[in-house]
Amino acid sequence: MADSSDLHEKDAGVAHPTDRIPTTPSTTSIHVTALDGLVNVNSLFTIAVFVGLSLTVPGQRSLENNSACDAGPDVVRNLLVFEVVAFSFFLFSSLVAQGLKLAINLLNSNDIDDAFRAHINAKVLRLGMLGSAVGSVMGCVFLLLSMVNVVQVRLGMLSCGSKAAVRAVAVLVTLVTTALAVYISTVFYAFTH
């Protein structure tokens, strides 16, 4: 019979090392599904990168109708650099995730019915998934920075005090940082429990 301290720890949600579920063939299908989701989301973000690039033309006038509020070549240059870096991180994340999926599927290619279950080194799987998640987060950060520059090119410089630009950037930064905080917290929780 368990003493009262054991009951209190279980009620408080304290996880014991023996309570953790090890990576087994039955849990590998969950990893494959998570990797699929990560690749799909990265694909959507990659599309956003190219949309940002296509909407920006050097020398473009802002909608502010004040030439002092038009973005200079440095803003357009930063936009292009941030877009390329964001694309690089999303591509890195997707390739790592696809590599893990390929390894999982090839390791168990003998049994077609169990194509999503394989014995794989748990440390390698966790490290790869963490690397893929970090790549996605960094891609989001650089995509956010590039979108701020897209707003400045299209709506006017933030330093000019363009109300539309300030509002758009405030909403963008608030929503994206909140979503990133939730994502990072979820990944941290998943790796510690």
Where b means 16+ CB within 10 Å and e means fewer, 39-75 reads bebbeebbebbeebeeebeeeeebebeeeebbbeeeb
User: Among 9, 26, 28, 5, which Cα is nearest to 18's?
Assistant: 9
Residue 19 lies in a domain: no
Tell me how far apart the terminal alpha carbons of the chain are, to the nearest angstrom: 26
pLDDT tens digits for 49-102? 777 677 666 667 777 777 777 888 888 889 889 989 998 998 898 888 888 888
pLDDT for 58 equals: 65
| Confidence label for 103 from pLDDT (cuts 50, 70 and 90) | confident
Residue 4 lies in a domain: no
Range of the domain at 64: 24-192
Which of 81-85, 101-105, 107-111, 186-190 is least confident?
Answer: 107-111
pLDDT tens digits for 130-177? 898 899 999 999 999 999 998 888 888 888 888 888 999 999 999 999
Instruction: Please determine, for residue 181, whether its predicted confidence score (pLDDT) is greater than 50.
Output: yes
Residue 18 lies in a domain: no
Residue 9 lies in a domain: no
Q: Look at the chain and report how many structural domains it folds into.
A: 1
Residue 104 lies in a domain: yes
Residue 184 lies in a domain: yes
